[in-house]
Structure 1
Amino acid sequence: MRRRRMHMSREAQDALLKALQQLREELKTPTEFPAHVLEAAEAAKAAPKLPDKDATDLPLFTIDPPTSKDLDQAMHLERRPGGGYRVYYAIADVAAFVKPGSPLDAEAHDRIETLYFPDLKVPLYPPSISEGPASLLPDQVVPALLWQHDLDAHGGVTGSTVSRAKVRSRAKLDYQGVQQAIDAGTAEEPLALLREIGRLREAVEAARDGISVNLPDQEVTLEDGTFRLSYVAALPVEGWNEQISLMTGMAAAGIMLDGGTGILRTQQEQTDQEVVRRVHGIAKLLGIDWQPGVSYARLVNSLDPTDQKHMAFLSEATVMLLRAEYTTFRDHHLPEHTTHAAIAAPYTSCTAPLRRLVDRYTGELCVAACAGQAPPAWVLDALSCLPCDMARGKGRVADRRAVDLAEAAVLKNRVNEIFNGVIINTDAEDDKPKEGTVHLAEPAVRGRIASGSELVLGANVQAELTRADPLFSGKNKILFKAV
Structure 2
Amino acid sequence: MPSWPRPAPSPPDFAAIRAELGVPEDFPADALAEAEAAAARPPLPELDATDVELVTLDPPGSRDLDQAVHLAERNGGFRVTYAIADVGGFVRLGGALDAEARRRGQTVYSPDRRVPLHPTVLSEGAASLLPGQVTPAVVWTLDLDGDGELTTSDVRRARVRSRAQLDYPGVQAQADAGTLPGALALLPRIGRLLLERAADRGAIELGTPEQEVQPTPDGGWTLVFRGDLPVETWNAQISLLTGRCAAGLMLDGGVGILRTLPPARPQDVERLRLLAPALGVDWPAGASPGSVISGLDAGDPRHAAFLEEAATLLRGSGYTAFDGAPPAQPLHSGVAAPYAHVTAPLRRLVDRFGTEVCLALATGRGPGDELRAALPLLPELMATSDRRTHEVERAVVDATEAWLLHGREGDRFPAVALDEGTVVLDELAVRARCAGPLTPGTRVEVRLVEADVASRSVRFEVVT
Q: TM-score, structure 1 length as denominator?
A: 0.85
1:374 to 366, 370, 375: 366
1:28 and 2:22 aligned = yes
Q: Which residue of 2 aligns with 1:430?
A: none
261-270 vs 299-308, which moves further: 299-308
1:95 and 2:88 aligned = yes
CA shift for structure 1 position 101: 1.4
**In structure 2, what residue type is equivalent to 1:43?**
A
Once the two structures are superposed, residues 300-354 of structure 1 have per-residue CA deviations (whole angstroms, 9 ceiling, x without a partner) of 21122344553454345325643211111112x1111111111111111110000
Structure 1 Cα separation of the partners of residues 350 and 220 of structure 2: 41
CA shift for structure 1 position 57: 1.4
Q: Which residue of 2 aligns with 1:334?
A: 326
SS at match of 1:131: helix
CA shift for structure 1 position 384: 0.8
Aligned pairs for 1:75-474 within 5 A: 75-80=69-74, 82-217=75-210, 218=212, 220=214, 229-271=223-265, 273=267, 275-276=268-269, 279-280=272-273, 283=276, 286-291=279-284, 293-319=286-312, 321-331=314-324, 333-393=325-385, 394-419=388-413, 424-425=418-419, 436-440=421-425, 443=428, 445-450=430-435, 463-472=446-455
Structure 1, gaps ≥5 residues long: 1-14, 427-435
Structure 2 Cα separation of the partners of residues 284 and 357 of structure 1: 43
83-92 vs 53-62, which moves further: 53-62
Query: Cα gap change, 1:261/1:216 in structure 2, threshold over 3 Å: closer, same or farther?
Result: same
Query: Cα gap change, 1:182/1:456 in structure 2, threshold over 3 Å: closer, same or farther?
Result: closer
1:46 to 30, 40, 43: 40
Structure 1 Cα separation of the partners of residues 163 and 116 of structure 2: 25
171-180 vs 280-289, which moves further: 280-289
**Is the Cα contact below 8 Å between 1:19 and 1:470 reproduced in 2?**
no
211-220 vs 293-302, which moves further: 211-220
SS at match of 1:212: coil
Query: Cα gap change, 1:226/1:53 in structure 2, threshold over 3 Å: closer, same or farther?
Result: closer
CA shift for structure 1 position 466: 2.1
212-221 vs 70-79, which moves further: 212-221
Structure 1 Cα separation of the partners of residues 208 and 225 of structure 2: 9
Query: Cα gap change, 1:362/1:286 in structure 2, threshold over 3 Å: closer, same or farther?
Result: same
CA shift for structure 1 position 365: 0.9
Structure 1 Cα separation of the partners of residues 335 and 43 of structure 2: 34
CA shift for structure 1 position 463: 4.3
Structure 2 Cα separation of the partners of residues 343 and 167 of structure 1: 29
Query: Cα gap change, 1:317/1:445 in structure 2, threshold over 3 Å: closer, same or farther?
Result: farther
**Is the Cα contact below 8 Å between 2:305 and 2:417 reproduced in 1?**
no
Q: Which residue of 2 aligns with 1:433?
A: none
Once the two structures are superposed, residues 382-408 of structure 1 have per-residue CA deviations (whole angstroms, 9 ceiling, x without a partner) of 111111111001333333332323333
**In structure 1, what residue type is equivalent to 2:287?**
V
281-290 vs 201-210, which moves further: 281-290
SS at match of 1:384: helix
**Is the Cα contact below 8 Å between 1:69 and 1:131 reproduced in 2?**
yes
Structure 1 Cα separation of the partners of residues 65 and 215 of structure 2: 28
Structure 2 Cα separation of the partners of residues 66 and 221 of structure 1: 14
Structure 1 Cα separation of the partners of residues 149 and 295 of structure 2: 23
**Is the Cα contact below 8 Å between 1:308 and 1:444 reproduced in 2?**
no
**In structure 2, what residue type is equivalent to 1:244?**
I
Once the two structures are superposed, residues 431-472 of structure 1 have per-residue CA deviations (whole angstroms, 9 ceiling, x without a partner) of xxxxx4344465453223456xx9887787764422223432
CA shift for structure 1 position 44: 1.7
Q: Which residue of 1 aligns with 2:59?
A: 65
**Is the Cα contact below 8 Å between 2:68 and 2:83 reproduced in 1?**
yes
CA shift for structure 1 position 156: 0.9
Q: Which residue of 2 aligns with 1:478?
A: 458
Structure 1 Cα separation of the partners of residues 139 and 338 of structure 2: 21
**Is the Cα contact below 8 Å between 1:364 and 1:376 reproduced in 2?**
no
Once the two structures are superposed, residues 394-434 of structure 1 have per-residue CA deviations (whole angstroms, 9 ceiling, x without a partner) of 333333332323333333232223456566456xxxxxxxx
CA shift for structure 1 position 297: 0.7
SS at match of 1:392: helix
386-395 vs 264-273, which moves further: 264-273
**In structure 2, what residue type is equivalent to 1:480?**
F
Query: Cα gap change, 1:233/1:362 in structure 2, threshold over 3 Å: closer, same or farther?
Result: same
SS at match of 1:166: strand
The number of residue pairs the alignment matches comes to: 453
**In structure 2, what residue type is equivalent to 1:37?**
A
**Is the Cα contact below 8 Å between 1:112 and 1:356 reproduced in 2?**
yes
CA shift for structure 1 position 93: 0.6
Once the two structures are superposed, residues 213-243 of structure 1 have per-residue CA deviations (whole angstroms, 9 ceiling, x without a partner) of 4443545565899975443442211111111
SS at match of 1:90: strand
SS at match of 2:97: helix
Structure 2 Cα separation of the partners of residues 281 and 241 of structure 1: 34
**Is the Cα contact below 8 Å between 2:433 and 2:458 reproduced in 1?**
yes
180-189 vs 459-468, which moves further: 459-468
**Is the Cα contact below 8 Å between 1:92 and 1:354 reproduced in 2?**
yes
Structure 2 Cα separation of the partners of residues 30 and 147 of structure 1: 32
Structure 2 Cα separation of the partners of residues 455 and 202 of structure 1: 35
